[in-house]
Amino acid sequence: MNKNITETIKYIGVDDLDLDLFESQYIIPNGISYNSYLIIDEKVAVMDTVDARKYDEWHTNLLAALDGRTPDYLVVQHMEPDHAGGMAAIMEEFPAMKIVASARAVQMMPQFFEECDFEGRTIAVKEGDTLSLGAHNLQFAMAPMVHWPEVMVTYDATDKVIFSADAFGKFGALSHEEDWACEARRYYFNICGKYGVPVQSLMKKLAALDVAIICPLHGPILSENLEYYIGLYDTWSRYDVESEGIFIAYASIHGGTAAVAHKLAEILREKGVKRVSVADLSRDDMAEAVEDAFRVGTLVVAAASYDSDVFPPMRDFLHHLQMKSYQRRRVGIIENGSWAPTAGRIMRGMLEQMKDIEIVEPMVTIRSRMKRSDLPALESLAEALLA
Ligand code: FEO
């Protein structure tokens, strides 16, 4: 794809529709885009490269957009290989081109590209530094931990464009039209979720700029209704609740715990909760379960006991939440055990290590299969979740 963002900024990124797992862990049923841009002015700047997997396609786009010009600068906002993968080859092709990046990124470059000689090729920039291309005057703002420490974003006041690195990115190739929020939320919480505080710092910097177009490193270029996207990013990075509702995540071995989880969902719906969602942690997408947990204010975890611990898919889920700084939520617990239930104690312990988690009592214990005698306890838990 090669299209104009503005008269002088061109999109030269590529879609990746045949990658099995993004970052070797996230399913991407609709692919992903590696965005890259070219600014044509008295000087020419390439804004990031792409994953080496798609280098050839990107290179074709670059040459077409250059239309015979030569790039003076390659601005590297993020060293992760899905964006910096094309650096070495393009440096070799254009030996006069300088690399503009944060000092931390410059430090990282030889770690990824032993074969490159960076001597005299790099310009390390810091907060507020500018680079004039002619009519365009690029201004750099550091965005450490959004989502690596070397990240910076770039503002072009001429066209009111912010090149936002991974911020405002989403899963899904540009060739695939879909709702923005769903895959942007799954991307955000799984990739940047731990870094709410640094994202908030970046949001404050963005608030001081006059931005008309957001050019992220993944997903669509945003040029309308920016308050909507910025508002969601603000909510997410504050760890605020985005939607009403209750999310029930279960890890069930033989279906007994699954039946309890679905029964609780039924009770909650009968009590008027409009949005109750249920996930099977053994089979559903873990990244989506993480996203769903952050989206609402109330979570219920239901799991079988296993090896004097908790059934591993639940341990994995809670570990994911812990890593992503899950916080400020209410959580109900349901455990199952046929002889010595241990799941509840383990889940409670893991939840108690997270920040500002309120355990909603009573914890419900099921023995093997839900029985009529278990219903009052489930009713009590449902009432407490609604309180
Ligand atoms: Fe899209 Fe953090 O790389």
Summarize the confidence of residues 139-161 as an average pLDDT: 97
pLDDT over 70, % of the chain: 99
**Centroid of ligand 1 to alpha carbon of 114 (angstroms):** 21
pLDDT score of 3? 82
The model's pLDDT over 107-137, given as tens digits with 9 standing for 90+, comes to 999 999 999 999 999 999 999 999 999 999 9
What's the 3-state SS for the chain?
A: CCEECCCCEEECCEEECCCCEECCCEECCCCEEECCEEEECCCEEEECCCCHHHHHHHHHHHHHHHCCCCCCEEECCCCCHHHHCCHHHHHHHCCCCEEEEEHHHHHHHHHHCCCCCCCCCEEEECCCCEEECCCCEEEEEECCCCCCCCCEEEEECCCCEEECCCCCCCCECCCCCCCHHHHHHHHHHHHHHHHHHHHHHHHHHHHCCCCCEEECCCCCCECCCHHHHHHHHHHHHCCCCCCCCEEEEEECCCCHHHHHHHHHHHHHHHCCCCCEEEEECCCCCHHHHHHHHHHCCEEEEEEEEECCEECHHHHHHHHHHHHCCCEEEEEEEEEECCCCCCHHHHHHHHHHCCEEEEEEEEEEEECCCCCHHHHHHHHHHHHHHHC
CB of 65 within 8 A of CB of 10?
Answer: yes
**pTM of the prediction?**
0.96
For the Cβ of 186 lying below 6 angstroms from any atom of ligand 1, the answer is: no
For the Cβ of 217 lying below 6 angstroms from any atom of ligand 1, the answer is: yes
The model's pLDDT over 86-113, given as tens digits with 9 standing for 90+, comes to 999 999 999 999 999 999 999 999 999 9
Predicted confidence band of residue 233 (pLDDT cuts 50, 70, 90): very high
Report helix angle 226-237 to 196-207, nearest 10: 150
Q: What residue ranges define each of the domains in the chain, with the CATH number in brackets?
A: 9-237 (3.60.15.10), 246-386 (3.40.50.360)
Amino acid at 301: V
The model's pLDDT over 299-354, given as tens digits with 9 standing for 90+, comes to 999 999 999 999 999 999 999 999 999 999 999 999 999 999 999 999 999 999 99
**Centroid of ligand 1 to alpha carbon of 122 (angstroms):** 21
Residues present in the chain in total = 387
For the Cβ of 16 lying below 6 angstroms from any atom of ligand 1, the answer is: no
For the Cβ of 218 lying below 6 angstroms from any atom of ligand 1, the answer is: yes
CB of 90 within 8 A of CB of 153?
Answer: no
pLDDT score of 363? 98
**Centroid of ligand 1 to alpha carbon of 77 (angstroms):** 10
Q: Has residue 153 got a pLDDT over 90?
A: yes
Summarize the confidence of residues 294-301 as an average pLDDT: 98
Residue nearest to atom 1 of ligand 1 (CA): 166
pLDDT score of 199? 97
**Centroid of ligand 1 to alpha carbon of 182 (angstroms):** 18
Atom of ligand 1 nearest to the CA of 191: 2
Tokens 């109330």 map to which residue?
A: 298
Atom of ligand 1 nearest to the CA of 217: 1
Atom of ligand 1 nearest to the CA of 151: 2
CB of 38 within 8 A of CB of 66?
Answer: yes
For the Cβ of 78 lying below 6 angstroms from any atom of ligand 1, the answer is: yes
**Centroid of ligand 1 to alpha carbon of 87 (angstroms):** 15
What are phi and psi for residue 254, nearest 5 degrees?
-120, 15
In sequence order, which residues have a C-beta less than 8 Å from that of residue 95 and are 6 or more positions away? none
Atom of ligand 1 nearest to the CA of 147: 2
Q: Has residue 1 got a pLDDT over 70?
A: no
The per-residue pLDDT of the chain, averaged, comes to: 97
pLDDT score of 98? 98
Atom of ligand 1 nearest to the CA of 148: 2
Predicted confidence band of residue 294 (pLDDT cuts 50, 70, 90): very high
The model's pLDDT over 31-78, given as tens digits with 9 standing for 90+, comes to 999 999 999 999 999 999 999 999 999 999 999 999 999 999 999 999
The β-bridge relationship of strands 246-251 and 276-280 is parallel
Q: Has residue 2 got a pLDDT over 80?
A: no
